[in-house]
Each structure stands twice: as C-alpha cells, then as structure tokens.
Amino acid sequence: MSGYQKRRKHTNKNLETVEERAQNGRKAEEILAGHIQSNDDSTKWIVEEISENSYSKTGAKHRAGIEKPDVVLFDRQSGKDYGFISLKCCKDFATAFNQIKRCSLTNFCKEFSAPKSIELILEKYTYRRKKLLRDGNNYSQNELEELLLFLNKNQKPLLISAFTGQAKQPKANWLLLHQWKFPDWQRNIACRDRSRLISMQEVIATFEDIQATFTKRGTITFGAGVTLQRKGGDNGKESANDLQFKLRIAPLLEALAKFRK
C-alpha cells in the first residue's frame, strides 16, 4: 500500500482525507452564504457584528472560484456590497494548518517589487528546494540577512496580501474561523460558539511587534502561526513550486488574545 493510500484509508467514519477537508471547506462557504441569504437565525450574529445593516435586508454571495473573499454581504435595497469575508473552516482550531494564499514566484516578485537578488534566493527556496538554514551551506549569511530585511521591510503588505488577497487592493475585510463538528457538520456552520469573527485590521495589527525569521526546519515564519513556504505536492507539476502562505489557527488566536489585553 502506498503512502497516499495509507493517508486515504479510513479507520473512523469521522476522519477526513485531505481531499475531503478541501471539499468540506468549499461546501461550508456555500452553506454559510446560503444561510445568510435565507436569513437563517444561525448567521444573524455575523451580520450584526460586521455592520448596523438590518439582517432581514442583508443578502450574501458565495464567490466560487475567487480566492478572496469567499462570502460577500450586500444590502438588498441598494445592492451595495459591504462585508467581505474570508472563511477558514477546520475540524479543530488546535491542530488546523490552513493555506491562506498561494501564488507563483513570478507573481510574488511582481506584487512586492522584489529585486532580482531576492528572486534568486526564493528561486533556490522553491524550485531547488533549498531550506533556509542558518547553519547550512544552502545560502550565504548575506543572502539570509538580505531576505530577512526584505521580508520585515514588507511585512505589512505581505500579511495584507496573505489574509485579504492583495496588498494594494485588499479584497476581504473580515476573517471568519469556524470549527465544524461531526456528525452532521453542515448543520453547525456559523454556530457562534464554534466560530471566531475577526476584523482584518485587527489581524494585521497583531503582527506589528513580530519580526519575520526562519524556523529550525528552514521555512519562513512571520510569527503568530503564519508561514511562507514552497507549496509542494500537485504531483510534481509546476504549481508545486508556488509560494504558499499557511496559517496555524491556534497560535493566531493566542497572539490575538495577548494583543487585545
């Protein structure tokens, strides 16, 4: 049995494969939009926290195929969009490790106006799979320091892009984290005691006093659960060399709690 088949095999009907987690996440977005669209009582709190708009006059759209936002709230009378929600669903906040954005190296360098020297370092990091180890021979100390300088200088736009979709024109202004619960997880979407609704402004502000660095495993971390790494997978396709922002939800929630004190 291959490693993939071992990961695929179920020993418990409540366990999911990687594919099922992704499918459930997309399904959750559709369900959430549908609940708001039908003015289901379970989602009233979301609209009330985001704005003063009447829930009965609020509609919602699921943005299928668009990375962010996943759900858009709009005023039914004026048709004006006002709430742009990025939804991240998981089985458990304590163990969740979600992708929040991915892009090609070319698009990354274009968005952040990265100099050629930074592009070459990141090319080694992605295409050549060279880990960013301080005690290794993959990079000179000057290269590592130059990359850190670039990351910290551009920390805010990098994080805005990761969480909202784009640095210069943010697409999402709210982050909704949700834990689904088996069985019948679809009935629990937007259940308040299993969700966290956070303004993107507060999310980004949480990182103000945190510096980007390299982990012991040679990946980039911005702290509070956010990493930037080579995507990998994709059966060895070109897209496996994309840069991928990932989020561990538990450290982010811990950092937010400290920030709010």
pTM of the predicted model as reported, rounded to 2 decimal places: 0.84
Predicted local distance difference test score (pLDDT) of residue 8 = 41
Q: What is the mean pLDDT of the chain?
A: 85
Ramachandran bin of 223, using left for φ above 0, alpha for ψ from -120 to 50, beta for the remaining angles? left
How many domains does one find in the chain?
1
Q: Are 70 and 87 in contact (CB under 8 A)?
A: yes
What percent of the chain is predicted at pLDDT more than 70? 88
Q: What is the CATH number of the domain that holds 40?
A: 3.40.1350.40
Question: In sequence order, which ranges of the chain are alpha helices (DSSP H)?
Answer: 3-8, 18-37, 44-50, 105-111, 116-126, 141-153, 155-164, 200-205, 249-260
pLDDT tens, residue by residue, 8-55 = 444 444 556 666 766 777 777 778 778 887 888 888 899 899 988 888
Predicted local distance difference test score (pLDDT) of residue 21 = 66
Predicted local distance difference test score (pLDDT) of residue 66 = 58
Residue 125: give the domain boundaries: 3-260
Task: Enumerate residues 6+ apart whose C-beta is below 8 A from 104.
Answer: 239, 241, 242, 243
pLDDT band of 99, cuts 50, 70, 90: confident
Token pair in block for residue 118: 């930074």
| 72-83 average pLDDT score | 90
